[in-house]
Amino acid sequence: MIKNQNIFDDSLFRANVGIMLVNAEHKIMAGEAYHYPGEWMMPQGGIDHSESPEEAMKRELVEETTLEFADTRLLREHDEWLGYKLGKPLEKNGKTYIGQRQKWFLLEYLGPLPDANKAQDREFRRFDWVNPDWLLEKTARFKHRLYYEVFSVFKDYLP
């Protein structure tokens, strides 16, 4: 995990947001990746050219989960940009990225799990409420340090 301002200006790191949704039991909503069966992660997505991180978070929330921001409550935004190197380079819109830089948001959601099949972006096969340790076991190895950081900062909202 990379935690510094330098990645914000590095064109090799794609600007991105991460979304951690927690329920009343302080479990995390995670999804099984559509293209990587058995791998689970929290919703995330790119920041479009004219968007603020908060605008991107609201858009990605709908696109990846079908949840509307109005059905959630913003609990916290991570103070810093976090980054990680990808397992393999990512080609997106004619550019190649070696990693992602992310602004993380913590939202509370008290409703039922969304139907991943109804999402605009088919990023997930299904969703479930999970504990941090379980998610770390099921996510890509290159995201571990980033998730540890997110869990550490948002620890007051976790079991």
| 117 in any annotated domain | no
* CA-closest candidate to residue 98, choices 12, 28, 34: 12
Q: CA 56, CA 15: separation in Å to the nearest integer?
A: 10
Q: CA 84, CA 99: separation in Å to the nearest integer?
A: 5
As a 3-state breakdown, the chain gives helix, strand, coil percent values, each rounded to 5, of 30, 40, 35
In tens, the pLDDT along 90-116 reads 898 888 998 899 999 999 999 999 999
| 70 in any annotated domain | yes
> What percent of the chain shows pLDDT beyond 70?
94
Task: Report CA dihedral (115, 121, 127, 130) to the nearest 10 degrees.
Answer: -150
Segment 109-138 mean pLDDT? 96
Domain that holds residue 24: 5-109+124-157
Q: How many domains does the structure of the chain reveal?
A: 1
Q: CA 71, CA 45: separation in Å to the nearest integer?
A: 19
| 119 in any annotated domain | no
Report the CATH number at residue 42.
3.90.79.10
Query: pLDDT category, 2, cuts 50, 70, 90?
Result: low
Q: CA 71, CA 43: separation in Å to the nearest integer?
A: 16
| 116 in any annotated domain | no
